[in-house]
Copies of this chain bind each other. A is one copy, B any other.
């Protein structure tokens, strides 16, 4: 089977091992290395409270270069004060020594419970163990994807290739995220490797745009975490003529990257905590792009809409209620809503429809709800998922 993991692009090694943070004994430390050095770009949570890992990673990524990523799952290293910062720096130092790099060439990410200190003895031993297992094999690529999971029931990976001139370029990504997923930043953890040769500013732009239209459009519970991080490393080993301006080659790369992050976002929606299905909320007719985005998120985050979709209940009034309460401009005489292709509310009036037919639409694995605010010409969208009892079960006893 072809390797489509983060080790597929030229120049990357990976590993994923268990250091004992997860009581289950599952993998909890992931390591990606690019011995030849990679250009690096990242986007991070906009939560005002950020993990020590985010603080350190944002500092290190300023160089625009990196040789490794170390990530742990199980403990978020957030709200951990000065000791947390020291521990985050120690993670980088330990990894840097093992691959003979400077500490600021190591990027880190943590995910898991907030407010607990990292068990640094386990973490250090884990990083050493992971470094010893670094390889370019498909197996270790998969191991990395598994090591970043928390409540995820399956690992999320995506892969794309493009051809630029005579060079074949690979892009591989993996992401974790099942709960505490809210839009407006690089939701959750996402790590992307590619062998494209590209300038740092364009790499950053491509990542920001891709995440903006995919991971940032996904909401599970509207909760923006303290740890969200999306990082891309580009080894430049594909042999393409370097992409140095926003031309057609750049567009090709950017489109492939956007398709990859959208793929990951949809995998996350379908594996969200307790979710059984996902949906896309499209808002048209908005007075501004901001209004469109706000209304789409309001609907996707509305527990009563999420419960109705879970139950296959075509209770569209909740959609309109969500739109009405989120503060966007609305023309009540033009306000309309469709579920799939079925109009349920048109120009401020209810429309007769077959509830069984609409119930069937919303119980599909994926469906689209369209709202027209009647107040302008702008549009935006959001991905969401249903809310089930399982979400409560998972989150009522995550800690103890």
**Chain A residues with a Cβ under 8 A of chain B:** 46-50, 76, 78-82, 113-117, 179-180, 182, 221-226, 302-304, 307-308, 310-318, 320-325, 327, 330, 332, 335, 344-345, 348-350, 355, 359, 387-389, 391-400
Contacts and interface: CB of A to CB of B under 8 A. Distances in A.
A366 to B, nearest CB: 19
Given A49-B332, A350-B80, A313 B114 contact: no
Nearest to A388: B392
Contact of A223 (B76, B82, B302, B311): B302
30 contacts: A47-B321, A48-B325, A48-B330, A48-B332, A49-B320, A49-B330, A78-B321, A80-B349, A81-B350, A82-B349, A113-B315, A115-B315, A115-B316, A116-B350, A117-B350, A179-B304, A182-B325, A223-B321, A225-B321, A226-B317, A226-B320, A303-B395, A307-B391, A308-B399, A311-B397, A314-B400, A315-B398, A315-B399, A389-B393, A392-B392
A226 B324 contact: yes
Nearest to A348: B81
A85 B400 CA distance: 52
Instruction: Select the residue from A117, A312, A392 with max chain B CB neighbours within 10 A.
Output: A392
Which label, helix, strand, loop or mixed, suits the secondary structure of the A interface? loop
A307 B115 contact: no
Contacts of A399: 308, 313-315, 355
A82 to B, nearest CB: 7
A354 to B, nearest CB: 12
A116 B350 CA distance: 8
Contacts of A47: 321, 324-325
B224 A395 contact: no
A246 B303 CA distance: 42
A223 B304 contact: yes
Instruction: Select the residue from A114, A325, A389 with max chain B CB neighbours within 10 A.
Output: A325
Contact of A304 (B221, B226, B313): B221
Contacts of A322: 223
Nearest to A349: B81
A312 B332 CA distance: 43
Contacts of A395: 303-304, 307-308, 311
Contacts of A114: 315-318, 320-321
A304 B350 CA distance: 35
A321 B307 CA distance: 24
Given A115-B316, A226-B321, 8 more contacts: A47-B324, A49-B321, A76-B317, A114-B320, A115-B315, A115-B320, A117-B350, A389-B392
B79 A221 contact: no
Contacts of A397: 311, 313
Contacts of A396: 307-308, 310-311, 313, 388
B392 A345 contact: no
A115 B80 contact: no
B49 A323 contact: yes
Contact of A79 (B223, B350, B389): B350
A355 B400 contact: yes
The 5 closest A-B pairs by CB, nearest first: A114-B317, A311-B396, A49-B324, A307-B395, A81-B349
Contacts of A388: 392, 396
Contacts of A317: 76, 78-79, 113-116, 226
B48 A308 contact: no
A397 B308 CA distance: 7
